[in-house]
Structure 1
Amino acid sequence: MRTSVALCTYNGEKYLQEQLDSILNQNLPVDEIVVCDDGSTDRTVKILQEYELKYPEIFRIYKNEKNLRSVKNFEKAISLCKHEIIFLSDQDDLWVSTKTEIMLQYFREHPEIAVLCSNGFGIDDYGKELDVITIWDVPQFLRESKIQVDYFKMISYVGNIATGATMAVRRNFTEKLLPFPVKQGFHHDEWMALVGSYYQKFDLIPDRLIKYRLHQDQQVGGISYPNTEDTKKQLIRFFNLFGHNRNFAAYKKLLKRLTESYSKAQDFAKNGIKHELVDQQLSDAVYLYRQTQSELRRKYPVRAFILSHLDSITGKRQLKP
C-alpha cells in the first residue's frame, strides 16, 4: 500500500517542523506529503519550501489564492492525494513513529474498513504528555463496560468521537466523502466518520498513534478531560444514552440530543446536501424520539406530562418541521 499525507497549514510556524519531522521519521515511510497552505503570513511557507527542496520526491506544496478555511482546505488536500491510503494531518501535532505501520496493517487485515481513526496522547505547548482522558478513549470504555458500540448512532445522536488528526482513509472511498458539507460548527472529520460509519466502514483503534497538542491557539479542539474515575463514569453515561435503566435526567438529555440531531440533518437537507445518511438520520431521529417519549411517559408519567407541557411552551426538545 502506498501512502499520502494530506496536511493543511495556516500560520503554523511554531510547531510545523516538529510535525514534519515526525511524519518523515515513520518506521514505515510515507510516499507523498501534500500540503495546502491557507494564506499563511508567518514563516510557514518558507519552512515548507525548505522541506520541499530537501525532499522533492515527497513534498507537493499548494498555496491557496484565497482563504478556504479548515474544512474546504482539507477537501482540497485530500482530492490532490494520489495514493491508496490517505493520512490526514494537522500542523501542530506529532506522529508516533509506528503510526503508519500500525494503521496500514489494520487496513490490510480489515479490507471492509475505509475510514480509520486511532487513539492518541495529549501534549502541552512544550510537547510534554498530559495526564488526561481523551474523547478517543470512549469506545474502549464502553466495550470494557460490555456496552455495544454503534458508531453511526453514537456520532449522529450523542457526539463525535473522531478527530481528523488521527484519521486515515482509503482513496477509493473519498468519492463518497467529497465534497465536504459546510455548516457552522460542523467539521470534516465528523462528516468522514458519519459517512464511514453509515456504510459500516469506520473504526477507531485503541493504539495511541499521535501526540495531540492541547493549546489555546488551536482552531479546533476540546477533546481532553481530567483523568479520574469519575470522568470515565460520566463519559460512559453520556455516550450510553441508548442503554437501559435510564433515569429522568438521561431521558431529557436523550430527547435533547435527538432534536439537535434532527435539526442538524434538516439543515443539511435544506442546504442541498443530498446523501442517504441524512434521510436515515431524519427517519431514525423521529423513530427514536417517539420511542423515548413513550418510555418516558411509561416510567415517569407525571413528570413526563409536566416536561411535555413546559417543552411545548419553551420550544425545547421539539422536532420542528
Structure 2
Amino acid sequence: MQVWQVRASYDTKPYRRLMMQTWGAKVHPSPSTITESGRKILHDDPSSPGSLGIAISEAVEVAAKNADTKYCLGSVLNHVLLHQSVIGEECIKQMEAIGETPDVIIGCTGGGSNFAGLSFPFLREKLNKKINPIIRAVEPAACPSLTKGIYAYDYGDAAGLTPLMKMHTLGHNFVPDPIHAGGLRYHGMAPLISHIYELGLMEAIAIPQTECFQGAIQFARSEGLIAAPEPTHAIAETIREALKCRESGEAKVILTAMCGHGHFDLPAYDKYLHGNVVDLSLSYDQVKASLANIPKLKI
C-alpha cells in the first residue's frame, strides 16, 4: 500500500507516518517526485509544505493510471457528509437521554465532513422548527475558506483533476501555511455546507492556533483528554461561548465534538508549551492572489 501524506504533516507528525509504516504502508511526502502533479508543484516551489489539495491530486493521478486502484475521497463530497451524520444522530439520542437540547452547536471545519456530521441532523430538526440552535463553524485563521473565501465553482484538488464543485474556496492552488491542524488545511468547503452558509443557516468564525492550544490545555487539565489540533478550534470557541455566558448570567447548552485525540500530535503540544507556536493569518491580498486562477465559467 502506498500513502501520500501532506509534507507538513509528514515532517511534524512522525507518529502517524510510523503507524502506517508499521502496518506495511510505503509513505511518500506530498508533493512527491512520483507523480506528474507532485513534480510540477516541486518545480515551482521546491520547499512546498504541501496541502490536502495537492495530496488529493497525487492520489487521483495514481488511481487514474492504475486499473487495479480505486480512489475515494474521505471528506468534502456531499455523500461523505451524509455518512458522517451518524455523529449528530447519536448526539440527538444522547441529548434526549438527559432531557436537553443544544442552544449552540460548535464544530471545527476543514473540508467540512466532521462539522456536517455533527450539525446536519440538528439542522434537520431546526428546519422542522423543533429546535432553534445556533450552528457555528470554526476554521483556522490561516485557512479561512468560509470567512474569507468566495462562493464559486472550483476544483477539489490543486491540479484540477476532480470535477468542479460550487463551494466556498480560497482557490485550488492555495497552499496554506503549515499550521499544526493539518486536517483543516484545505482550500475549499463542502458544497452542502457552503450552500447552507449562503442561506444564513449557520455562522462561521476563524481562530488563530495559539488560542486553540491554550483552550486544549485547559480542556485536558479539566477533562483528562488531549485533543488533536483540529478539534481544539471548536474547543477554543466553546470556551469563548461559555465565558460569555458566565459574564451575562445566561444559561446555555453548548454542544461540540472532540473528533480526535492528540496522542500523535504531542510534538505540537511540546512546541506550544515551550512558546514556539506562532499565529498565522491570511490577508485579503493573499486571498485575492490565490483566487486569480479559479475557473471562469459562463453560466
* TM-score, length of structure 1 as denominator length: 0.31
* TM-score, length of structure 2 as denominator length: 0.32
